[in-house]
Amino acid sequence: VLSGCGVYDGTEIHEASAVLVHLSRGGAEVQMYAPDVPQMHVIDHSKGQPAEAESRNVLVESARIARGKISSLAKLTTAEHDAVIFPGGFGAAKNLSTFAVDGKDCKVNREVERVLKDFHKAGKPIGLCCISPVLAAKVLSGAEVTVGHEEEEGGKWPYAGTAGAIKELGAKHCVKEVASASAVFSLTPLYEAHVDTKNKVVTTPAFMCETALHHIFDGIGAMVKNVLKLTGK
């Protein structure tokens, strides 16, 4: 499920690509969806500032990542799918929810909420990375998720405050690395994802951490691998 195209006002493109590569490697058949709604706003990514005169549609922008093969989120049903995955990017907090503005008092897009509740009720796994675990924290009471660390640690975890908001939403936050410190120097690195086995929710920090791109990519791989494992297929 995508939320636009571009880290500051939509889906984080590297995260979406990583999810798709790992799903492909895992032999999964993929269908992409996005809500057919206006974006909260449009960011000029070259300046990091809002483009005041512009407006864009989340589904239309997400189609850039999907190479045109995308459907409205209203058409997504649990009966036709084994799992659902939400990449991160500020779009998850701006277009799929109002978390970027309202924090713990946020509202979740009604189709996003429906999908999360439907998959949870059906006992089918839900994967989320970066900021998108806030969606599960808001919708699925008592879920266990991770957005990484709970302290900024000199800028390594610039969005660490999100962990506090997750707790205020009634979810449990579990501290995780993108890659364990020892694993960075290992021939067989250990990339981390948190698996809430009760709720079948799998999360990983991704770009919540300031680290090398390949660590982000492989951390997302750990999330995808666990999602696929939970499908039992």
In a domain, 22, yes or no: no
CB 99 within 8 Å of CB 62: no
Tell which residue, 108, 98, 5, 95, has the closest CA to residue 41: 95
* Catalytic residue chosen out of the listed positions 5, 130, 174, 209: 130
In a domain, 65, yes or no: no
Residue 58: the pLDDT is: 98
Range of the domain at 82: 76-231
In a domain, 23, yes or no: no
Number of domains in the chain: 1
Cα–Cα distance between 197 and 232 in angstroms, integer? 13
Cα–Cα distance between 4 and 8 in angstroms, integer? 10
Tell which residue, 167, 186, 177, has the closest CA to residue 216: 177
Query: Chain-centre distance of CA 30, in angstroms?
Result: 16
In a domain, 128, yes or no: yes
Residue 179: the pLDDT is: 76
Say if strands 194-196 and 201-204 run parallel, antiparallel, or are unpaired: antiparallel
In a domain, 25, yes or no: no
In a domain, 170, yes or no: yes
Active site residue 174: no
Cα–Cα distance between 59 and 208 in angstroms, integer? 24
CB 189 within 8 Å of CB 136: no
In a domain, 113, yes or no: yes
Residue 181: the pLDDT is: 56
Cα–Cα distance between 159 and 47 in angstroms, integer? 20
In a domain, 194, yes or no: yes
Domain holding 168: CATH number? 3.40.50.880
Residue type, 4: G
Per-residue pLDDT of the chain (233 residues; tens, 9 = 90+): 999 999 999 999 999 999 999 999 999 999 999 999 999 999 999 999 999 999 999 999 999 999 999 999 999 999 999 999 999 999 999 999 999 999 999 999 999 999 999 999 999 999 999 999 999 999 999 999 999 999 999 999 999 999 999 999 999 999 999 976 555 555 555 678 999 999 999 999 999 999 999 999 999 999 999 999 999 98
